[in-house]
Chains A and B, each alone.
Chain A
Amino acid sequence: MSEGGAVLSETPTAGEAPGGQGGVPRHYEFVEGWGMACGNYGGVWRPRSAPEVQTVLASAGARGAQLALRGTGCSYGDASTNSRGEVLDLTSMNRILSFEPQAAPGRGRVEAEGGVTIEQLWRFLLPRGHWPRVVSGTAAPTLAGAAAMNIHGKNNFSVGTFGDAISEFDIALPNGELRTVTRASDGDLFHAAIGGCGMLGCITRLVLETHAVHSGDLEVDAIATRRLGEMMEAMEARRESSDYLVGWIDAFASGDNLGRGLIHTARYLEPGEDRAPQDTLTLAHQEQPANILGLYPKTEMWRLLRPFNNAPGMRAVNAAKCLAGRLEGMAGPQRQSHAAFAFLLDFVPNWKFAYGRRPGHGLIQYQSFVPAAAAQACFEDLLRLCQDARREPFLAVFKRHRPDPFWLTHAPQDLDDLGGSWSLALDFKVTPETRPNLWSLCERLTKRVLAAAGRFYFAKDLTLTPGAARTMFPAQNLAAFHALKNELDPQGTLQSDLWRRLFAD
């Protein structure tokens, strides 16, 4: 068993500090995973254009330096950290370049630089009557980061992943080439780079499909469920009629209530259902208030969560949420803005600080994906394993997924039965003291998931081992990915802690 895995280096290491190559801004910073459970000091490049990205790649190659690609650093674990080298941060390339509202019936087409965030994108699209096809639970990720990690949303079961909504991208390769890639022009690179964790090249520009909406609101319904099986049945029953589906689980409930929780379903409104779309399709309607009760700034609200950030506190919070969910379920369907429904994780800014702000304190998310037929038994076992270890996750989220064509996809690909899969995401508190025990619990969870032919998602991972990566993917997929990596990046310039932990042989 690894003694708590992952790299957290508190002390900067001596090393050379190459000056601004070709005038590309570079700063020395602490670079950490979003969950704050791993990080290290290093040089961070912030190129402002595709040629500057090429300059940074060339400079790293020439110096034999290793470079990790990073957007806003929203991956919970070590996907965008690099304890042995430097980081290329794409956030300075954040222009939206063009928009065609009617590229196809009900579909728009937006072209943007890789460092544009989902927040920038939805703010641009919504007043124009569009919404991104796939968004995450937070609006903070960049589009290039979302593509590299192939993120998914609450509509993964119906529209697929972020990569499924991409029609074209530019990628700066370690050899200096800037290549435009579509499914037709280079299917291999298209399906390998999306979800390829930034190991093949840096995505500098993307073309995305957008979804035309007829209102700034969704119709949202809540259904309280008493156990996991009931939740899965209720979600299956609503799969056809819902555009979004997400389950929240009280991981503290046990016995007959194991997996009790709350489902939220949402659907887009049809033309005419919203009598005043000109009012709801505005940023003002989407904005969440900056203050609580008009006075208390939301940016300070995480401090209120802090006293509850322990097992008894979270047990109480989860039970209270269950009760509130039952009342919400009785109230019937409600209208809610796209932003409020989609970006629940942004409701309390900086909520992660409730997990502690000192080095080594934070959280990890453990998200596993299990084929539909085996999902219920597997996830019930996972919840029991956490409870037996007295290490219940403070937050548990349940989603439905469909297969997708990307090489390193998180979604199990069941070729016999396209029943898709379910995922369970568990948030665990990390402290330096609990780390070894937590890692050993995650190892037990991983064994169970792999026994059910499950998979994992790298934006949420910090605990897997190379063996897990070898087991979860078909051997030919991994071999093909390594071959492509060797072809495009023979020097191994693009590296991250995640890559070295799971894939480097």
Chain B
Amino acid sequence: MITSGGLLRADSPPHLPISDLAMDTPQPTTASPRRAIVIGASSGIGAALVEALAAEGASVGAVARRAGLLDELSAAGGHILTRSHDVRDSAAVPELFEELVRELGGLDLLIFAAALMPAVERDEYNTEKDLAMLAVNVGGAIAWCNEAAGFFKSQRRGHIVGISSIAADRGRKGAPVYGATKAALDHYLEALRNRLSEANVSVTTIKPGFVATDMTAGMGKLPFIISAPSAARRILSAVRQGAETRYVPLRWWLVGRALGLVPSFIFKRLNV
């Protein structure tokens, strides 16, 4: 055992060599291109978002279950990294997130756009189908947004976007569980926004109305329907503006307010 004794004498000249430290100067954040991850990127709004972001010059990580569709997306050009992943496999998220962020060289934006909306009959009470929606629309969102939240909080900057739906606003006969998953997403994203505001991280809830995608195909003629690229453009504009909640297109906000005013004894008789 030694003791930490010994007094350095003032007459021994202190030797201070020039430091051999590695030195990385911080890069200006504004000049770096935007780096984004989109979950649910194989079709619909998610695919349109990937294309729009890549067209803006961003590096995009595109994640979806269907690998074939992802390949078509990356073939379209731009800096797009694709990963095949089922969002129900939440245990795989931390590693996949790390891999993508490393390859993208950082991350500024994460958009969760994956959702299941199977056709549900009026008298159908199919637990298996319903729980699958819950796993993808809510479980997947939590797994990815939690991972992004920890990362963005640690770097004190970043933006999380969740694609919810106008279906979250009222409990409708046609989609009990789809609406419930989107209501859960709204609530989760609001709480995340409040938690992360101190850390300089933004959270945006997007509430699209009808968008022409696989999801709405076969639903007949729908009011105010817009194309997926148009929806993507509006969503990215909401992101740039730092919106907290944004109906897409905006007129759904009015519809939402109006539906909210309908009392239950009338609403239960409506076929909406």
Interface residues of A (CB under 8 A from B): 1-15, 17-20, 25-32, 41, 43, 83, 187-188, 191, 299, 350, 357-360, 371, 374, 404-409, 412-416, 432, 443, 446-447, 450-453, 465-468, 470-474, 476-477, 480, 501
Residue contact A7 to B22, C-beta cutoff 8 Å: yes
Contacts of A358 in B (CB 8 A): 29
Contacts between the two chains (Cβ within 8 Å), count:
165
Residue contact B98 to A43, C-beta cutoff 8 Å: yes
Q: What is the bound-complex CA distance between A19 and B103, given in angstroms?
A: 16
Q: Is B271 positioned at the interface, with any CB of A under 8 Å from its CB?
A: no
Residue contact A20 to B91, C-beta cutoff 8 Å: yes
Q: What is the bound-complex CA distance between A217 and B101, given in angstroms?
A: 50
Residue contact A471 to B8, C-beta cutoff 8 Å: yes
Contacts of B220 in A (CB 8 A): none
Given A453-B10, A480-B2: A11 and B27 interface contact (C-beta under 8 Å): yes
Contacts of B105 in A (CB 8 A): 11-12, 14
Interchain CB contact (< 8 A) of A467 among B3, B9, B15: B15
Give the segment of B49-57, B110-118, B151-159 that binds chain A.
Answer: B151-159
Given A27-B147, A472-B8: A5 and B23 interface contact (C-beta under 8 Å): yes
Residue contact B21 to A5, C-beta cutoff 8 Å: yes
Q: What is the bound-complex CA distance between A358 and B155, given in angstroms?
A: 9
**In the complex, residue of chain B having the shortest beta-carbon distance to the beta carbon of A6:** B21
Residue contact B23 to A3, C-beta cutoff 8 Å: yes
Residue contact B27 to A10, C-beta cutoff 8 Å: yes
Query: Nearest Cβ in chain B — how far from A453, in angstroms?
Result: 4
Interchain CB contact (< 8 A) of A31 among B95, B102, B154: B154
Interchain CB contact (< 8 A) of B2 among A407, A414, A451: A407
| Between-chain CB contacts (< 8 Å), 11 pairs | A3-B23, A5-B21, A7-B21, A28-B101, A41-B155, A407-B2, A408-B4, A451-B10, A465-B17, A467-B17, A471-B12
Query: Nearest Cβ in chain B — how far from A366, in angstroms?
Result: 15
Residue contact A413 to B95, C-beta cutoff 8 Å: no
Given A7-B21, A187-B1: A30 and B16 interface contact (C-beta under 8 Å): no
Q: What is the bound-complex CA distance between A472 and B19, given in angstroms?
A: 17
**In the complex, residue of chain A having the shortest beta-carbon distance to the beta carbon of B91:** A20
Residue contact A371 to B7, C-beta cutoff 8 Å: yes
Residue contact B24 to A7, C-beta cutoff 8 Å: yes
Interchain CB contact (< 8 A) of A20 among B4, B5, B94: B94
Query: Nearest Cβ in chain A — how far from B12, in angstroms?
Result: 8
Residue contact B4 to A474, C-beta cutoff 8 Å: yes
Interface SS of B by simple majority: loop
Contacts of B101 in A (CB 8 A): 12, 28, 41
Residue contact A359 to B1, C-beta cutoff 8 Å: no
Residue contact A453 to B95, C-beta cutoff 8 Å: no
Given contacts A11-B105, A446-B16, 19 further A-B contacts (CB under 8 A): A2-B19, A4-B23, A10-B27, A13-B102, A18-B95, A26-B95, A27-B151, A28-B97, A30-B154, A357-B156, A405-B3, A407-B2, A409-B4, A412-B7, A467-B16, A471-B15, A472-B8, A477-B6, A501-B21
Q: What is the bound-complex CA distance between A257 and B155, given in angstroms?
A: 42
Q: What is the bound-complex CA distance between A142 and B106, given in angstroms?
A: 29
Q: Mark B13-50, 1 if CB is under 8 A from A, else 0.
A: 01111111111111101001000000000000000000
Residue contact B6 to A413, C-beta cutoff 8 Å: yes
Residue contact A29 to B1, C-beta cutoff 8 Å: no
Residue contact A12 to B102, C-beta cutoff 8 Å: yes
Interchain CB contact (< 8 A) of B29 among A1, A359, A465: A359
Q: What is the bound-complex CA distance between A237 and B139, given in angstroms?
A: 64
Interchain CB contact (< 8 A) of B18 among A1, A41, A432: A1
Q: What is the bound-complex CA distance between A32 and B156, given in angstroms?
A: 11
Q: Is B198 positioned at the interface, with any CB of A under 8 Å from its CB?
A: yes
Q: Mark B80-106, 1 if CB is under 8 A from A, else 0.
A: 000000000001001101110111011
Contacts of A20 in B (CB 8 A): 91, 94-95
Residue contact B151 to A360, C-beta cutoff 8 Å: no
**In the complex, residue of chain A having the shortest beta-carbon distance to the beta carbon of B107:** A12
Residue contact A477 to B7, C-beta cutoff 8 Å: no
Contacts of A480 in B (CB 8 A): 2
**In the complex, residue of chain B having the shortest beta-carbon distance to the beta carbon of A183:** B1
Q: What is the bound-complex CA distance between A451 and B8, given in angstroms?
A: 9
Residue contact A6 to B23, C-beta cutoff 8 Å: yes
Residue contact A25 to B6, C-beta cutoff 8 Å: no
Residue contact A416 to B95, C-beta cutoff 8 Å: no
Q: Mark B194-225, 1 if CB is under 8 A from A, else 0.
A: 00001010000000000000000000000000
Most buried by A among B4, B5, B32, B154: B4
Q: What is the bound-complex CA distance between A432 and B99, given in angstroms?
A: 29
**In the complex, residue of chain B having the shortest beta-carbon distance to the beta carbon of A28:** B98
Residue contact B19 to A465, C-beta cutoff 8 Å: yes
Most buried by A among B22, B105, B151, B200: B22
Query: Nearest Cβ in chain A — how far from B94, in angstroms?
Result: 6
Given A25-B94, A467-B15: A453 and B8 interface contact (C-beta under 8 Å): yes
Residue contact A432 to B26, C-beta cutoff 8 Å: yes
Q: What is the bound-complex CA distance between A4 and B99, given in angstroms?
A: 31
Residue contact A29 to B91, C-beta cutoff 8 Å: no
Residue contact A188 to B1, C-beta cutoff 8 Å: yes
Q: What is the bound-complex CA distance between A412 and B9, given in angstroms?
A: 12
Q: What is the bound-complex CA distance between A359 and B27, given in angstroms?
A: 9
Q: What is the bound-complex CA distance between A450 and B103, given in angstroms?
A: 45
Residue contact A466 to B29, C-beta cutoff 8 Å: no
Interchain CB contact (< 8 A) of A465 among B1, B16, B106: B16
Q: Is B242 positioned at the interface, with any CB of A under 8 Å from its CB?
A: no
Residue contact B150 to A27, C-beta cutoff 8 Å: yes
Query: Nearest Cβ in chain A — how far from B110, in angstroms?
Result: 13
Contacts of B6 in A (CB 8 A): 413, 415, 474, 476-477
Query: Nearest Cβ in chain B — how far from A145, in angstroms?
Result: 18
Residue contact A474 to B24, C-beta cutoff 8 Å: no
Query: Nearest Cβ in chain B — how far from A188, in angstroms?
Result: 5
Query: Nearest Cβ in chain B — how far from A416, in angstroms?
Result: 7
Query: Nearest Cβ in chain B — how far from A383, in angstroms?
Result: 20
Contacts of A27 in B (CB 8 A): 94, 98, 147, 150-151
Interchain CB contact (< 8 A) of A477 among B2, B98, B156: B2
Contacts of A477 in B (CB 8 A): 2, 4, 6
Residue contact B14 to A451, C-beta cutoff 8 Å: yes
Query: Nearest Cβ in chain A — how far from B201, in angstroms?
Result: 12
Residue contact B27 to A443, C-beta cutoff 8 Å: no
Most buried by A among B15, B20, B23, B97: B23
Contacts of B21 in A (CB 8 A): 2, 5-7, 501
